[in-house]
Amino acid sequence: MIVLQNAAVRVVIDCESELYRGGRFDRQGLIASFRRGPAEFCGAEGEGGGVGLCNEFGLADPVGFEDAQQGGLFLKIGVGWLQKTTDQYRQVYPYPIAELVRSQYTRLDGAVRCGFDSGEENGYAVRCSKTYTLTEDGVSVAFSLENTGSKAIATSEYCHNFLTVNGTGGLPVDSKYSLQTGCEPIDRAVRDLIAGGQPVYYAAFDRAALPDSFREWRFSHEDSPVMFRESCDFHPVRFAVWGTRAVISAECFHALRLLPGERAVWSRTYYLLERV
Protein backbone atom coordinates (compact mmCIF):
# COMPACT_ATOMS: atom_id res chain seq x y z
CA MET A 1 0.00 0.00 0.00
CA ILE A 2 1.17 3.52 -0.82
CA VAL A 3 -0.05 6.52 1.17
CA LEU A 4 -0.35 10.01 -0.33
CA GLN A 5 -1.17 12.60 2.31
CA ASN A 6 -1.29 16.35 2.90
CA ALA A 7 -2.91 18.63 5.44
CA ALA A 8 -6.41 17.99 4.07
CA VAL A 9 -6.67 14.44 2.70
CA ARG A 10 -5.17 10.97 3.04
CA VAL A 11 -5.26 8.56 0.08
CA VAL A 12 -4.20 4.90 0.27
CA ILE A 13 -3.44 3.23 -3.07
CA ASP A 14 -3.21 -0.54 -3.47
CA CYS A 15 -0.58 -1.06 -6.19
CA GLU A 16 0.14 -4.73 -5.48
CA SER A 17 -3.33 -6.32 -5.68
CA GLU A 18 -3.45 -6.94 -1.95
CA LEU A 19 -7.20 -6.31 -1.79
CA TYR A 20 -8.40 -7.47 -5.21
CA ARG A 21 -7.16 -10.59 -7.03
CA GLY A 22 -9.99 -11.20 -9.49
CA GLY A 23 -10.05 -11.00 -13.26
CA ARG A 24 -12.51 -8.15 -13.76
CA PHE A 25 -11.29 -4.88 -12.23
CA ASP A 26 -8.09 -3.09 -13.26
CA ARG A 27 -5.25 -4.14 -10.96
CA GLN A 28 -3.08 -1.11 -11.78
CA GLY A 29 -3.74 0.32 -8.38
CA LEU A 30 -7.04 1.12 -6.73
CA ILE A 31 -7.90 3.72 -4.11
CA ALA A 32 -8.45 1.63 -1.01
CA SER A 33 -9.02 4.52 1.39
CA PHE A 34 -9.98 8.16 0.84
CA ARG A 35 -10.24 10.23 3.98
CA ARG A 36 -10.55 13.81 5.14
CA GLY A 37 -10.10 14.03 8.90
CA PRO A 38 -12.24 11.27 10.43
CA ALA A 39 -14.50 11.04 7.35
CA GLU A 40 -13.74 7.87 5.32
CA PHE A 41 -15.56 7.43 2.00
CA CYS A 42 -14.33 4.08 0.62
CA GLY A 43 -16.44 0.99 1.21
CA ALA A 44 -16.60 -2.58 -0.09
CA GLU A 45 -18.96 -4.07 -2.68
CA GLY A 46 -19.38 -7.40 -0.95
CA GLU A 47 -19.66 -10.61 -2.97
CA GLY A 48 -18.19 -9.08 -6.14
CA GLY A 49 -14.91 -8.31 -4.42
CA GLY A 50 -14.68 -4.65 -5.46
CA VAL A 51 -13.19 -2.24 -2.93
CA GLY A 52 -12.94 1.54 -2.82
CA LEU A 53 -12.46 3.36 -6.11
CA CYS A 54 -11.54 0.74 -8.71
CA ASN A 55 -11.89 1.14 -12.45
CA GLU A 56 -12.61 -1.44 -15.13
CA PHE A 57 -11.89 -1.61 -18.84
CA GLY A 58 -14.45 -3.39 -21.00
CA LEU A 59 -17.53 -3.83 -18.81
CA ALA A 60 -19.36 -5.20 -21.86
CA ASP A 61 -16.64 -4.92 -24.53
CA PRO A 62 -13.29 -6.40 -23.48
CA VAL A 63 -10.55 -6.20 -26.10
CA GLY A 64 -10.47 -9.14 -28.51
CA PHE A 65 -13.37 -11.14 -27.09
CA GLU A 66 -15.37 -11.30 -30.33
CA ASP A 67 -12.34 -12.39 -32.38
CA ALA A 68 -11.21 -15.06 -29.94
CA GLN A 69 -12.10 -18.69 -30.63
CA GLN A 70 -13.75 -20.74 -27.90
CA GLY A 71 -10.92 -21.55 -25.51
CA GLY A 72 -8.81 -18.73 -26.96
CA LEU A 73 -7.63 -15.59 -25.19
CA PHE A 74 -8.99 -12.07 -24.83
CA LEU A 75 -7.64 -9.06 -22.96
CA LYS A 76 -8.86 -7.44 -19.78
CA ILE A 77 -6.75 -4.29 -19.56
CA GLY A 78 -5.06 -4.02 -16.19
CA VAL A 79 -5.43 -7.76 -15.54
CA GLY A 80 -4.08 -9.82 -18.44
CA TRP A 81 -5.27 -12.50 -20.85
CA LEU A 82 -8.44 -14.40 -19.97
CA GLN A 83 -9.75 -17.58 -21.55
CA LYS A 84 -12.96 -17.35 -23.55
CA THR A 85 -15.35 -19.99 -22.22
CA THR A 86 -18.74 -18.49 -23.17
CA ASP A 87 -20.15 -17.40 -26.55
CA GLN A 88 -21.35 -14.04 -25.22
CA TYR A 89 -19.33 -11.95 -22.78
CA ARG A 90 -20.78 -12.02 -19.26
CA GLN A 91 -19.37 -9.32 -17.01
CA VAL A 92 -19.62 -11.21 -13.72
CA TYR A 93 -18.57 -14.60 -15.08
CA PRO A 94 -15.25 -15.85 -13.58
CA TYR A 95 -13.24 -16.35 -16.77
CA PRO A 96 -9.98 -18.20 -16.08
CA ILE A 97 -6.90 -15.96 -16.05
CA ALA A 98 -4.60 -17.67 -18.56
CA GLU A 99 -1.82 -15.11 -18.26
CA LEU A 100 -1.68 -12.54 -15.47
CA VAL A 101 0.22 -9.42 -16.60
CA ARG A 102 1.56 -7.74 -13.51
CA SER A 103 1.59 -3.96 -13.50
CA GLN A 104 4.70 -2.07 -12.45
CA TYR A 105 4.60 1.00 -10.26
CA THR A 106 6.95 3.88 -9.50
CA ARG A 107 6.77 6.21 -6.54
CA LEU A 108 7.10 9.90 -7.36
CA ASP A 109 7.02 13.06 -5.27
CA GLY A 110 3.36 13.31 -4.21
CA ALA A 111 2.34 10.75 -6.83
CA VAL A 112 2.57 7.14 -7.97
CA ARG A 113 2.58 5.83 -11.55
CA CYS A 114 1.34 2.35 -12.50
CA GLY A 115 2.03 0.74 -15.88
CA PHE A 116 0.66 -2.24 -17.80
CA ASP A 117 2.09 -3.71 -21.03
CA SER A 118 -0.11 -6.54 -22.28
CA GLY A 119 2.04 -8.22 -24.90
CA GLU A 120 0.28 -9.31 -28.11
CA GLU A 121 -2.29 -11.99 -28.84
CA ASN A 122 -4.26 -12.39 -32.08
CA GLY A 123 -3.23 -8.89 -33.21
CA TYR A 124 -4.33 -7.15 -29.98
CA ALA A 125 -1.92 -5.36 -27.65
CA VAL A 126 -2.00 -2.27 -25.44
CA ARG A 127 0.22 -0.23 -23.21
CA CYS A 128 -1.64 1.48 -20.36
CA SER A 129 -0.65 3.69 -17.45
CA LYS A 130 -2.34 5.46 -14.56
CA THR A 131 -0.73 8.24 -12.52
CA TYR A 132 -2.21 9.13 -9.13
CA THR A 133 -1.27 12.68 -8.08
CA LEU A 134 -2.21 14.30 -4.78
CA THR A 135 -4.05 17.63 -5.09
CA GLU A 136 -4.93 20.18 -2.42
CA ASP A 137 -8.29 18.54 -1.66
CA GLY A 138 -8.03 15.12 -3.26
CA VAL A 139 -6.32 13.03 -5.91
CA SER A 140 -6.17 13.14 -9.70
CA VAL A 141 -5.88 9.98 -11.83
CA ALA A 142 -4.36 10.51 -15.30
CA PHE A 143 -4.86 7.66 -17.79
CA SER A 144 -2.94 6.83 -20.94
CA LEU A 145 -3.91 4.00 -23.29
CA GLU A 146 -1.91 3.18 -26.43
CA ASN A 147 -2.86 0.61 -29.06
CA THR A 148 0.42 -1.23 -29.70
CA GLY A 149 -1.16 -4.07 -31.70
CA SER A 150 -2.03 -4.50 -35.36
CA LYS A 151 -5.85 -4.42 -34.95
CA ALA A 152 -8.15 -1.57 -33.98
CA ILE A 153 -9.66 -1.69 -30.49
CA ALA A 154 -13.01 -0.46 -29.23
CA THR A 155 -13.65 -0.67 -25.51
CA SER A 156 -14.65 1.48 -22.55
CA GLU A 157 -13.40 2.55 -19.14
CA TYR A 158 -15.36 3.53 -16.06
CA CYS A 159 -14.78 3.52 -12.32
CA HIS A 160 -16.71 1.68 -9.67
CA ASN A 161 -16.83 4.15 -6.78
CA PHE A 162 -17.89 2.03 -3.82
CA LEU A 163 -18.84 4.92 -1.56
CA THR A 164 -20.22 5.18 1.93
CA VAL A 165 -19.77 7.65 4.75
CA ASN A 166 -17.54 6.36 7.56
CA GLY A 167 -16.23 3.43 5.52
CA THR A 168 -17.29 -0.21 5.52
CA GLY A 169 -19.96 -0.75 8.15
CA GLY A 170 -20.63 3.00 8.24
CA LEU A 171 -23.86 4.89 7.75
CA PRO A 172 -26.37 2.70 5.87
CA VAL A 173 -27.76 3.99 2.58
CA ASP A 174 -31.05 5.79 3.07
CA SER A 175 -32.69 9.10 2.16
CA LYS A 176 -30.07 11.07 4.14
CA TYR A 177 -27.65 10.39 1.30
CA SER A 178 -27.62 12.69 -1.72
CA LEU A 179 -26.11 12.21 -5.18
CA GLN A 180 -26.28 15.27 -7.41
CA THR A 181 -25.37 15.82 -11.07
CA GLY A 182 -26.97 19.21 -11.66
CA CYS A 183 -29.48 17.59 -14.04
CA GLU A 184 -32.81 17.57 -12.21
CA PRO A 185 -34.47 14.60 -14.02
CA ILE A 186 -31.44 12.42 -13.23
CA ASP A 187 -31.15 13.70 -9.67
CA ARG A 188 -34.84 13.06 -9.04
CA ALA A 189 -34.60 9.50 -10.38
CA VAL A 190 -31.54 8.80 -8.24
CA ARG A 191 -33.23 10.22 -5.12
CA ASP A 192 -36.12 7.81 -5.65
CA LEU A 193 -33.69 4.90 -6.07
CA ILE A 194 -31.80 5.67 -2.88
CA ALA A 195 -34.94 6.24 -0.83
CA GLY A 196 -36.80 3.26 -2.31
CA GLY A 197 -35.56 0.69 0.18
CA GLN A 198 -34.60 -1.91 -2.43
CA PRO A 199 -31.59 -4.04 -1.43
CA VAL A 200 -30.03 -3.58 -4.88
CA TYR A 201 -30.82 -0.81 -7.37
CA TYR A 202 -29.52 0.40 -10.72
CA ALA A 203 -30.20 3.11 -13.27
CA ALA A 204 -28.32 4.18 -16.40
CA PHE A 205 -28.53 7.37 -18.42
CA ASP A 206 -27.02 7.33 -21.90
CA ARG A 207 -25.38 10.26 -23.62
CA ALA A 208 -28.62 11.64 -25.06
CA ALA A 209 -29.97 12.15 -21.53
CA LEU A 210 -26.84 13.93 -20.28
CA PRO A 211 -26.34 17.70 -20.67
CA ASP A 212 -23.41 18.66 -22.91
CA SER A 213 -21.82 20.33 -19.88
CA PHE A 214 -22.00 17.20 -17.71
CA ARG A 215 -18.56 16.44 -16.28
CA GLU A 216 -19.03 15.90 -12.53
CA TRP A 217 -21.23 14.63 -9.72
CA ARG A 218 -21.34 15.01 -5.92
CA PHE A 219 -22.09 12.61 -3.09
CA SER A 220 -22.93 13.58 0.49
CA HIS A 221 -24.76 12.66 3.67
CA GLU A 222 -26.69 15.24 5.66
CA ASP A 223 -24.89 14.27 8.89
CA SER A 224 -21.38 14.47 7.40
CA PRO A 225 -19.41 17.75 7.20
CA VAL A 226 -17.49 16.40 4.18
CA MET A 227 -18.72 15.64 0.66
CA PHE A 228 -17.21 13.68 -2.23
CA ARG A 229 -16.94 15.00 -5.80
CA GLU A 230 -15.71 13.43 -9.02
CA SER A 231 -14.77 15.56 -12.02
CA CYS A 232 -13.70 14.14 -15.41
CA ASP A 233 -12.22 15.86 -18.45
CA PHE A 234 -14.37 14.02 -21.02
CA HIS A 235 -18.06 13.92 -21.85
CA PRO A 236 -19.35 10.56 -20.56
CA VAL A 237 -21.20 8.29 -22.97
CA ARG A 238 -23.15 6.92 -20.01
CA PHE A 239 -23.78 7.78 -16.37
CA ALA A 240 -24.90 4.89 -14.18
CA VAL A 241 -25.83 4.57 -10.52
CA TRP A 242 -25.66 1.21 -8.80
CA GLY A 243 -25.96 0.47 -5.13
CA THR A 244 -27.00 -1.56 -2.13
CA ARG A 245 -27.90 -0.53 1.39
CA ALA A 246 -24.14 -0.47 2.17
CA VAL A 247 -22.55 1.39 -0.78
CA ILE A 248 -23.45 3.65 -3.69
CA SER A 249 -21.48 3.70 -6.94
CA ALA A 250 -21.95 6.46 -9.51
CA GLU A 251 -20.09 5.77 -12.74
CA CYS A 252 -19.04 7.93 -15.71
CA PHE A 253 -18.25 5.81 -18.80
CA HIS A 254 -15.57 6.78 -21.30
CA ALA A 255 -15.64 5.29 -24.84
CA LEU A 256 -12.27 4.35 -26.34
CA ARG A 257 -11.64 3.62 -30.02
CA LEU A 258 -8.04 3.42 -31.15
CA LEU A 259 -6.43 2.45 -34.42
CA PRO A 260 -3.00 0.78 -34.28
CA GLY A 261 -0.46 3.31 -33.02
CA GLU A 262 -3.03 5.71 -31.58
CA ARG A 263 -3.07 6.82 -27.95
CA ALA A 264 -5.80 8.28 -25.73
CA VAL A 265 -5.34 10.32 -22.56
CA TRP A 266 -7.99 11.35 -20.04
CA SER A 267 -8.34 12.02 -16.33
CA ARG A 268 -10.58 11.75 -13.32
CA THR A 269 -10.16 13.90 -10.23
CA TYR A 270 -11.67 13.04 -6.85
CA TYR A 271 -12.19 15.63 -4.12
CA LEU A 272 -13.19 15.55 -0.47
CA LEU A 273 -14.56 18.99 0.32
CA GLU A 274 -15.90 20.60 3.46
CA ARG A 275 -19.60 21.33 3.15
CA VAL A 276 -20.58 24.96 3.60
Alpha carbon distances (Å) from 64 to 34, 154, 242 = 34, 9, 27
Q: Which tens digit of pLDDT belongs to each residue from 73-92? A: 999 999 999 999 999 999 88
Residues 6+ apart with CB under 8 A from 209: 183, 185, 186
Please state the pTM of the whole predicted model: 0.91
**Structure confidence at residue 256 (pLDDT):** 97
Q: What is the pLDDT of residue 167?
A: 59
CA 14 to chain centre: 14
pLDDT digits (tens, 9 = 90+) for 195-208: 887 888 899 999 88
Confidence label for 22 from pLDDT (cuts 50, 70 and 90): confident
pLDDT at 18 over 90: no
List the alpha helices (DSSP H) in 138-225: 184-195
Note the pLDDT of residue 48: 61
Whole-number Å distance between alpha carbons of 29 and 58: 17
Whether residue 46 is predicted with pLDDT greater than 90 in this model: the reply is: no
Which residues make Cβ contacts (< 8 Å) with residue 195, sequence separation at least 6? 174, 175
Give which of 164, 153, 146 is closest to 221, Cα–Cα: 164
Domains of the chain: 2-56+103-274 (2.70.98.10)
**One-letter amino acid for residue 66 of the chain:** E
